[in-house]
Amino acid sequence: MKKILIDCDEVICDSGFLNLLNDYLKSNYTIDDFTSYFIEEDVLESEEEKVSFYDYIKDKNPYAKAVLYEGAYETIKALNEKYDVYICSSCAIDIHGLKEASGQFFKNKYDFLIKHFPFLNVNKFVFTGVKNIFNADVQIDDKFSHLQSENIPCKLLFTSYHNKMLTEEELKQKNVVRVNSWADIAKILL
């Protein structure tokens, strides 16, 4: 069975940091207002503001209002019949005191995944920020820097606010193919 690594945030669901940022700022930003991976970088200018925001999110659950992307459930269910599915997702944030809060983020993500994908094998949840150490047949991620392994023949970049500016040429150089939806993924893998 072919092995597939599937990222969680901004691939399976929105990670909820937009909601937290809007709650914090009492703003109405939408995700397309941002281009930086860490969205707060685009709107919080001083270090003090960022530290205050990180302080605010420490005990919040980013998955409380997270929404599954269209087709994610159905496609992952079908992939799980055909592939050896691993969820490969980062939870630890080692900035401004969030290191201590990261354990809670792990739990939030784990709870979110078992609630929405009860058919997945929890022994195949891999929580790591270092993704270039794995061998697999397929990897799906929204972060281009996570798709750099030469050991993975099929690498799919899930279109997201922070990767839209990457050109086809840049993707081609790293043997990465862009997908815009779970329907695109189904077409390639199912």
The Cα 18–Cα 40 span in angstroms is 9
Cβ proximity to Mg ion: between 13 and 189 the closer is: 13
C-alpha distances (whole Å) from 130 to each of 30, 73, 88, 92, 114 are: 29, 25, 10, 11, 22
Note whether 9 binds Mg ion by CB under 5 A.
yes
Cβ proximity to Mg ion: between 40 and 142 the closer is: 142
Binding mask 120-159 for Mg ion (x = CB under 5 A): ----------------------x-----------------
Q: Where are the beta strands (DSSP E) in the chain?
A: 3-6, 84-89, 125-127, 138-141, 154-158, 176-179
Shortest spacing between CB 26 and Mg ion, in angstroms: 26
- 86, 4 Cβ separation under 8 angstroms: yes
Shortest spacing between CB 37 and Mg ion, in angstroms: 9
Q: Which of 4, 5, 10, 34 binds Mg ion (CB under 5 A)?
A: 10
Helices 72-82 and 182-189 cross at an angle (nearest 10°) of: 20
* The one segment of 10-18, 28-36, 76-84, 174-182 that binds Mg ion by CB under 5 A: 10-18
Beta bridge partners of 178: 157
Q: Hey, which residues between 70 and 99 contact Mg ion (CB under 5 A)?
A: none
Cβ proximity to Mg ion: between 51 and 171 the closer is: 171
Which are the contacts of 111, defined by CB distance < 8 A and separation ≥ 6? 63
Q: What are phi and psi of 134, to 5 degrees?
A: -100, 150
Shortest spacing between CB 146 and Mg ion, in angstroms: 7
Which are the contacts of 20, defined by CB distance < 8 A and separation ≥ 6? 56, 57, 60, 62
Shortest spacing between CB 10 and Mg ion, in angstroms: 4
Cβ proximity to Mg ion: between 51 and 116 the closer is: 116
Shortest spacing between CB 89 and Mg ion, in angstroms: 7
Note whether 7 binds Mg ion by CB under 5 A.
yes
Note whether 14 binds Mg ion by CB under 5 A.
no
Give residues in contact with Mg ion (CB under 5 A): 7, 9-10, 142
